Structure 1
Amino acid sequence: MINFRSIHGRLFLIFLFCMLGLLLIVSFVYYQRATEQIRDKMSSVAEKNISQTAGLFDLMLKGYDSVTKSLNSNNELMKLLRDPSSDQTVEGVNLERRITDILGAIFYSRNDIVGIHIVTNRGKVYSFDRSVGATVRDHSEQEWYTRLQRSTGEMIWLGVYPHSLMSGGIEKSVFAFGRQLFELSALKSVGIVLIETDADAIVSALSNASLGPGSNVVIQAADGVEIIRTNPVQSDRDRIPLGWPGPLKTGEVLMTEREDAMITAAGIRTADWTVIGITPTRDLQLELRETQRFLLSVIIVLVIAATALATLVSRSFSSPFKRLIQQMKQVELGNFKGQVRVHSYQELNVLVSSFNRMVRQMDELIERIKLASISEKNAQLQALQSQVNPHFLFNTLDMIYWMLDERENDRLGKVILSLSQIFRYGSEWEEASRAPLRRELEQLRHYLTIIETRLGGRVHTEFEVEERWLGIEVPKMCLQPIVENAVKYGLEPLDRPGLLRISSRERDGKLEIAVEDNGVGMDEETLERIVHALSGERVSQVADEAAGPERKGIGLQNVHSRIRLLFGESYGLSVRSRLNQGTAVTVTIPIPPERG
């Protein structure tokens, strides 16, 4: 929190208020101008949309009109409709089939036609629709039929109905229209044609005139009857003013504005209809709201920028004091290496110099104490190391070996020599933490020499490691703990000779070294605990519990952790085992690129 009684706080407030005042004035002027421009733009868009929608309907209705004219101008169809052949004769059946074939050809010429129906003056109905295809049936007079009968050949646009007028299986909205059919040679009526199209095409065309989700578009006939509207009437806002807009000329667009809505209208000359768009004020203000949100976002960004700039200016005066406070907090946390560098007021410079001098003296004192402690620990370690000299142990074992060799005790000599090599290999950690796979396997052979001698030949070992992998470096002592586990807990309890196999294989760019035995194995619960532990828990503890309370040595945790530290998380150990069948532990390490 800023302390407004300080120099930093006072300067911050003055600078911030000046910038915010200028920002508010500019924002208010911009908002007024943007409001006027958006209003003019919306009026222009509304007029353009309603005019385009009227033109679209003209084209659509002309297309429907051409369909009915194509029927009236089909001489073959007119001749067939005039033919009074009996329906019970073969000739009558063929006549009906030829008529429905003509209707079917026109039906499939357009995708939006739902049904085509011809009612002859004899009351016979020939239909082709989506529900049943081609049909012939009788007809009873309805209101729409009377309208078509009273016409004199002009197109009659009946309007939109909730379901088909002639087809019982079509329960969706349809747009119906028709006319009387005349034989052109005799100018005599032969019946009427009724065509039903999908009303979705009408609704889709009306949606072009919509300016927003709340807009309502209406088609009104010349007598003021509504043909269709996109949304039902929900309030007085959706009602059209009585007597408005009146007759419109071709291409003429009218517009009126009310408190709650803007109304536009344009004429559809093909059907003597008027398309009227009613757009509520809230939809007209959508773009204005976008402008408001944009302006608000800009104001917020500028306020943040002004605050940051005010903070920067005020902090330039108070930063020397803050740097001194920050360094004092670092000293409290134990960091004595930092120094405060300030060139400011004379009194502050004296304070900073005294503080830096005090921190240096404290750091020197702490370093002296640490050096004294380290010297004492080193002396203790040297005293402990001098008690057991590894080289003395190597020399003693070599001496025993040569004494046994002179007495021709080869078996015991090999054991002593192997033990000497094991001690020597294990004590060379100062050279490196890795060793070639060749040396690691030699170490295993020395170890197995002792084991095979101790077990009296009950364990047989096979090495199946390819020559090309012997030069790859592996973590030192990574295989012996695994072999030790296999011998002690897998092969020793056997009442039969055991087999231990050490093999290698390449898989997915990785080298896998497998240590397999045919010993007693592990049950599923023990194996599951070890595998779960290798995924991230305390592996050594779980493995020790699985193996028994007497387990000693480096353990699986050591080997697994060292491999992952050296090569990454995707490498390490994996264990497979089945009770009374054996156990397999796989060491996975990367293959160097030059050997891949």
Structure 2
Amino acid sequence: MKMSMQKKIILFFICLVTLPILIIYMLVSNIFIKSTQKDMTTIYAANIREVGKNIDVILGSALDLSIYPLMEQNFKAFLTASVQSSNYKKIKKNAGDILLSMPYGYTSGIHGVSITNMAQDSLKTNINTKLTSSDMNEAGRLNGSPYWDYSKSGLRNGYLYLTRLLKNPSNISQHIGYVKLSISCNKIQSSILQNQQDNQTSYFIIAKDDRYIIRSDNNNYLENQRTSLTYHRLSRLAASKKGSTIIDGHIVSAYPLGRTDFIIYSITKPEVLSAVKHSFYLNMAIIFIIVLIFSLLLSIAFSKIIMTPLERLGHYMKSISNEDFTVRYPVKGSDEISVMAEHFNNMAERLNFLYTEVYMGELKLKQSQLDILQNQINPHFLYNTLDTIYWMSRMGDNENVSIMVSNMSRMMRLTLAPKTNDKIQLSQELEHLSCYINIQKIRYGKKVTFELQYGEEITGEYVLSFLLQPLVENALVHGLSNCLKGTVKINIYEQEDTIYYEVSNDGEPINEEEIDNILNAADKSMKGFALRNINERIKLKYGDNYSLTCYREAEFSVFKIVQPKEAIHYDKDTNCG
């Protein structure tokens, strides 16, 4: 026997109210405990994050300071100078004077720094930073990565040591010395205690080999939990979204210390909140009876209100299925049925439009593909430039930082300016390229020479936007990256109704077959992304007769773009310099 929709709605309302209340009635105690535990773990997870971020500041300062000698000219001179040179003593004295004014102090937890060249001649500010053969061996094994020595961190007034092998920034295969820093464990302990959640909470910092660097154990939790709280288990907890859990009745919260392999975690066993639940059960029983009666009355009324318009709407949907897209449901009011009817009308109108406007839809799809490719290109350069600006600002090169920021700002203004299409003036394309070249001249100095040639008569032409800069960047990154010196030539010219871009470099020769495979590969991997993106944009806009090609000409690798001329012209406006 089939049940009508009205009876189904009544039965549904009864089950909807009765079953959840019965389940809640049986499980309320467990839910109450789980909710309390969740709130407590959230509180302690927030606390360990706050404590961990303060420790991150101390360890991050040490890591930053360990690469400072590579950026300071006097230190670099001391590390690279020969001890037999006539001015070696002067170089060492200048470096020693700078060492005394380096940006560290007791407030950051760094108590000493030593800098040692490959001749094992040292500059140091504290006797406890003497470089040992073990330090050199471990730092050399890590090949420039930081080596942490926490063998003395558990002693009274103990220290955590950081040693790093220094490489010549101009020739990373050349080792030029070592830097060693001592970090006060008392300072780390003090930072932890300043943010301690309560007296029942203990804090620990553990290394990857399960050795403890810092112990702030007020309740002897460590002895009870040593076997279960391994580094591997804590690292998974720290990487989880919650960052806190309950193990054997204890709340354990973990946080990964950034830029290191260390993990800080806390253990606590707060007093469990208890409450009398009898009144809650009584109130729930009363509410259950009232809601059950109300649901019976409401289900009957609701079934009548909703069924009539739904049946009518079903009739109109059947018309749509028979390809009658002209039907419209009369909308009255603003309730859910009316909203559904309005959506139905919108769907019918849209289907009618799509049914009659297929050709226009195909054109819009093609333009959407072009927009997607353009949006992928726009931010490509930003990520490569910010790092250079950061390091130059760290080294105090304010003039060049100002030039780079000004040019990058101009580039971003051009790139992010509202556009009605993907075409711009050639003068704007040249402005965008000039800003990029100005930035690269600062980065590469005399290592790279740029030559730009174009005719003034074509600067007002309307061209596809931002194609030159990715090609020049490709020449720098893939052509000249392994060369001591090189040249990048950009030649722009016209022949009849066609505009040509030629970007060439005299660096590492290209593999024409490999480039051809990248441009025509079905696999959209990141390798060759910029070149493939340019080629796809040109083909989507102008068809297969226009594209990006490459070839060898004498000692130069040449990338060539061909695109048709437009009839629209604009005045020049180039403001980068």
Which band: TM-score by shorter chain?
0.3 to 0.5
What's the TM-score, normalizing by structure 1? 0.36
Report the structure number with the largest CA radius of gyration: 1
TM-score, structure 2 normalization: 0.37
